[in-house]
Amino acid sequence: MTDLLTALLLGIIEGLTEFLPISSTGHLLIAQHWLGARSDLFNICIQAGAILAITLVYRERIWSLATGWRQPAERDYLLKILGAFAVTAAVGLPVRLLGWELPETVTPIAWALVIGGVWMLVAERLSERGPPSSQVTWAIVVAVGLAQVLAGVFPGTSRSAAAIFMAMLLGLNRKPAAAEFVFLVGIPTMFAASGYALLETVLEGEAGTEDWAGLAVAFVAATITGFATVRWLLTYISSHRFTPFAWYRIGLGALLLLGLPAGG
């Protein structure tokens, strides 16, 4: 398989899995066991391609926030998006600099998939006990910010799943509203992560070794497939549960632990 075709496939995988609560990082790392490992810059930047898709999907909402910040409700929501991003940056940057993360190998990813799937089943049931709400509280802001850090430390957790279900457990239990807030927080989070990874690559003198053509192909593929996926997901969760995604995680994690596709 050529390098560009491999990059295209990885970009499609990223776009399909970034917003579904099944862990894009986990799927990319599993895929790279067969297709060859890629740099951290590659993996993070194609995630930014998927986040660009969110920017396009929510372009009207973003424009409303940008132009309507003088209105109390819009300003409050915008400040909460920035607050969640600030929590992620304040906690996540030291964690990254200290190297606190599990190894990106199959076994920890498999356990994260299984545990995350069980967590989703329980969390969705618990969240439904409260009255329906679309209100984003400051407790939810902090929890979403910390959930994003948690997903970075434990590959296979899923940033979207960790953040959405923390928000739902704390009262934001209208799924489309929880997804919107988490996805909008992901825009500055992932663009900042991509910028940081790019800066590291340049400072370490590794820019010349990066496959920039492959990265560009994967970025575009992730953007296109991410756009289609998130549009479908928002329609799906408006009237369906997250249960199929939870069982998919549990099943995939169990297969990996049994060593069927990739070994232990």
Residue 106 binned pLDDT confidence (cut-offs 50, 70, 90): confident
Cα within 13 Å of Cα(194), Cβ side: 19
pLDDT tens digits for range 157-212 = 899 999 999 999 999 999 999 999 999 999 999 888 888 877 877 787 766 677 88
Tokens of 9: 């496939």
The rounded distance, in Å, linking the Cα atoms of 103 and 248 is 23
pLDDT at 264: 42
Q: Which residues of 106-141 are buried (b: 16+ CB within 10 A; e: fewer)?
A: bbbbbbbbbbbbebbbebbeebeeeeebeebeeebb
Residue 261 clears pLDDT 50, i.e. is over it: no
pLDDT at 263: 42
The rounded distance, in Å, linking the Cα atoms of 229 and 232 is 5
Query: Which stretch of 52-66, 133-147, 170-184, 185-199 has the lowest confidence by average pLDDT?
Result: 185-199
pLDDT at 43: 81
Residue 255 clears pLDDT 60, i.e. is over it: yes
The mean pLDDT of the chain is 89
Residue 262 clears pLDDT 50, i.e. is over it: no
Q: Which residue has the tokens 């497939």?
A: 225
Higher pLDDT among residues 247 and 262, named by residue: 247
pLDDT at 250: 96
Q: How many CB atoms lie within 10 A of CB 91?
A: 17
Whole-prediction pTM: 0.89
pLDDT at 149: 93
- Domain assignments of the chain as residue spans, ordered by start: 3-258
Query: Which stretch of 33-47, 151-165, 185-199, 245-259 has the lowest confidence by average pLDDT?
Result: 33-47
Residue 148 binned pLDDT confidence (cut-offs 50, 70, 90): very high
Q: What percent of the chain has pLDDT over 70?
A: 95
Residue 143 clears pLDDT 90, i.e. is over it: yes
Mean pLDDT of 63-86: 94
pLDDT tens digits for range 118-128 = 999 999 999 99
Closest-CA residue to 18 (of 38, 43, 1, 42): 43
Residue 99 clears pLDDT 80, i.e. is over it: no
